[in-house]
Structure 1
């Protein structure tokens, strides 16, 4: 298979400005209730924004007196996070370089959909590892049935992404997490969003 990480990184670096501007109001318009519920269920302030992009969601969390850490494979996205005063690092989400129980919550909105489907269970296990026993996890994924390279929002540029059915996601999540809230957002594409808590370790 082509190098999906490098291809996706190049696309997001190149179109970082367009991505930031076109999605800047997304949380306020579509995820605010879920974000508030996520915050309400946290046992502490430390959260990891996995595949943070330009830091839209983490900036909101910081404004709510939380302590977000942004990670993304795109150096340009991380530069934009740092411009906003966010704690941010270039990091491969397949290699979470954090100690056990480092965070009270993890937020992964439409970032894990850029991984091959076979890798998702292992990544969820790693996310569980870096969360506390009371840790909360929020996951947003595209609905459907797809895995591969395809043109997305940027004509002429293919990138790698996946789509899952709700049944698939609930089954995969169940090994590490208990789903406590579900929502669906439709903005051309349909997104399945799950608020979860870590299963007792």
Structure 2
């Protein structure tokens, strides 16, 4: 990833961390977390399981998962976001997706909502591979992204300063990408009223025999 893009993202989220912490969690996000928790139960990964919240922000979702019996580790690029997570009693680390300094096969599941939006398309498979590495052999993945169309670059209408980088995918494209590293169990699209994007909700499992060795 371009170091300048990464530095811009870090600065932007550092500056907006406290304001994002003050925003209530939308009901549809709670519904997605409940679906994730139900899925954990359905595959015998109930309470007490180790969950990696990748791109945790101020920890809203991590707290919800923790309150429902999960052992959550938060990772975020923003120092301020990680500070807020720690203030809430969460285990949290400043880290990016390209060099996850975490033990291999150490998590039962990964939760990531609208974080991989900031990964350039030519680095997406590398990031998926890093995620796959830290999952246990029977590990599962929840990955959610805004999308429904193809786009990549600085979002000119972004109200954040500095403006952030986003990558969006059409539904079939994102499924093809993820299927190179994970087995998709379920894919659905949630329309986002009043916006130009949909939300792509993906439930996947680590492949039984994953021969993926890097970006293609």
Residue 49 of structure 2, aligned match among 45, 49, 54: 45
**Alignment of 1:154 onto 2:162:** no
Query: Which whole-Å deviations, capped at 9, do the CAs of 1:71-108 have from their partners, x for residues lacking one?
Result: 00101100111111100011111111112111000111
Greater alpha carbon shift after TM alignment, 52-61 vs 37-46: 37-46
Name structure 2 gaps, 5 residues minimum: 210-216
Equivalent in the alignment of 1:100: 104
Equivalent in the alignment of 2:198: 190
Task: Tell me, in whole angstroms, the C-alpha distance in 2 between the residues paired with 1:147 and 1:42.
Answer: 38
Q: How does 1:28-67 map to 2 (within 5 A)?
A: 28-40=29-41, 41=43, 43=45, 45-67=49-71
DSSP-derived class of the 1:22 partner: coil
Task: Tell me, in whole angstroms, the C-alpha distance in 1 between the residues paired with 2:15 and 2:139.
Answer: 34
DSSP-derived class of the 1:3 partner: helix
Hey, which of these two has a bigger chunk of strand by percent? Answer: 1
Aligned CA distance change for structure 1 residues 156 and 112 (closer, same or farther; 3 Å) = closer
Name structure 1 gaps, 5 residues minimum: none
State the TM-score, normalizing by the size of structure 1: 0.91
DSSP-derived class of the 2:22 partner: helix
DSSP-derived class of the 1:113 partner: helix
State the TM-score, normalizing by the size of structure 2: 0.85
Aligned CA distance change for structure 1 residues 51 and 32 (closer, same or farther; 3 Å) = closer
Aligned CA distance change for structure 1 residues 20 and 27 (closer, same or farther; 3 Å) = farther
Q: How does 1:171-190 map to 2 (within 5 A)?
A: 171-187=176-192, 188=195, 189-190=197-198
Query: Which whole-Å deviations, capped at 9, do the CAs of 1:139-163 have from their partners, x for residues lacking one?
Result: 1112121100114552554110110
Equivalent in the alignment of 2:10: 9
- The Cα RMSD (Å) is 2.0
Query: Which whole-Å deviations, capped at 9, do the CAs of 1:94-133 have from their partners, x for residues lacking one?
Result: 1111121110001111111101101111111111111011
Task: Tell me, in whole angstroms, the C-alpha distance in 2 between the residues paired with 1:85 and 1:154.
Answer: 30
Aligned CA distance change for structure 1 residues 165 and 90 (closer, same or farther; 3 Å) = same
Task: Tell me, in whole angstroms, the C-alpha distance in 2 between the residues paired with 1:152 and 1:67.
Answer: 37
Aligned CA distance change for structure 1 residues 152 and 89 (closer, same or farther; 3 Å) = farther
